[in-house]
Every structure is written in C-alpha cells, then in structure tokens.
Homo-oligomer: A and B are copies of this chain.
Amino acid sequence: MLQEILNDVGIAVFAASGALLGVRKDFDLWGIVTVGALTGVGGGILRDVVLGITPPTSIQNWPPIVIAAVTSLVVFFFHPTFALLRRSVLIFDAVGMGVFATSGAAIAVDQGVSAFAATLVGLLTAVGGGILRDVMANEIPLLLQPADLYAVPALLGAAVVAVGGIHTSAPIWVWLVTGTIVATGLRIAGLAFGWRLPTAPRPRARRQS
C-alpha cells in the first residue's frame, strides 16, 4: 500500500522532469504530455519487455499513464512554479528512484530470473524513463554525464532486493524497505556531500569506429 503510493509519487515526479524538458525544448502540448508520460512509465515498460511480461502492466492498466499525463498537464500550465521547486523535486525524485529500483528488482525475482539479472532489471526500471526522455529530446542522457551519483545508488538498492530476495528466506518486504533506504539514502547523501565519479584521465582519445 505504502509502496503503491510511493510508486505513484515516483511516476509523477519522473513525468514532471520529462514535461519540464519538453517545455524547455518548445514542444507542443502533445509533445510535452508524451515525453512526460514516457519518462514516468518508460522504465516500467522496458522492465516488462525485458522480462517478457506482455502487454507491459503500465499500459495494460490506466492509472500509471493517467497519473503521468495529468502531472504533465499541470507542468504545462504551471511550469515556472515547478522550476522553483527544484530542491524539493530532487528529494521526491530520489524516493521515486529508490522505489522503482527495488520494485523492479522484486518483480524480476518473481519472474524467476537470476540475482544478477534482477539487479540489472531494477536498475533499468529506475533509469529507463530518464534515458528515454533524453533520447526523445535529442540530448545525451544525463545519466552518462558527470553529475551527482544516480545510477550507482539505484544499482545497490536493486542488488539488495535481488540478492536478499533470492538467497535468503526473509520476506521480500524486508529487502524492499532496506533496498529503498539504501538507494534513496545514498542518492540524497551524494547530493548533500557532492559525491561524484571521476572522468577519464587525459590526454583525450579519438573515436574508434
């Protein structure tokens, strides 16, 4: 129940980030709602396609896309307000990321995949929407660029659920809670302390075809 609510919060926050990028890129109403919806539910759709769950639950049931579309509409009309809320949005986004990573891993565990695969599926669930958002907007995914930790916390949170859910007999909710705290906590700590990963040592290399 709490997980349901947090999941919906995650969809809304992700959708808002997509819709805001659409506004910045001068998309029209349809474009903004499309990018918002895809950012909100894209991670879950990729998760289901990789796991062979067809049709993806995010399109089979209407609530996820409706939540994402309504959020995008609100952003369409009130986007200057959202831009001011940047700091709060980052916290909600960290919660959404943690919930997506752990719920994605748990769904993969349910499908009987390996712990290795479940960890990667959790990661994909958390970051897939953002990647689709940036590719659709013709930008390099934020995820790949030097910035505050994002994918590493998602990977660790997903790993907690995957390993705990497959290799221990403790109930899955224990690992869901632990994994979400790990992922969201690490993300917020990274923001607070400015943790970053290094870029490659110079000199520069040329492109390999």
Contacts and interface: CB of A to CB of B under 8 A. Distances in A.
B35 A144 contact: yes
A50 to B, nearest CB: 6
Contact of A17 (B25, B199, B203, B208): B208
Given A34-B151, A136-B144, A208 B121 contact: no
A77 to B, nearest CB: 7
A17 to B, nearest CB: 5
Interface in A119-172: 120-121, 131, 135-147, 151-152
A54 B50 contact: yes
Interface residues of A, number: 76
A206 B77 contact: no
Given A20-B207, A138-B138, 13 more contacts: A21-B208, A23-B204, A26-B145, A28-B197, A32-B200, A34-B144, A50-B54, A51-B55, A62-B116, A80-B203, A86-B206, A135-B135, A136-B141
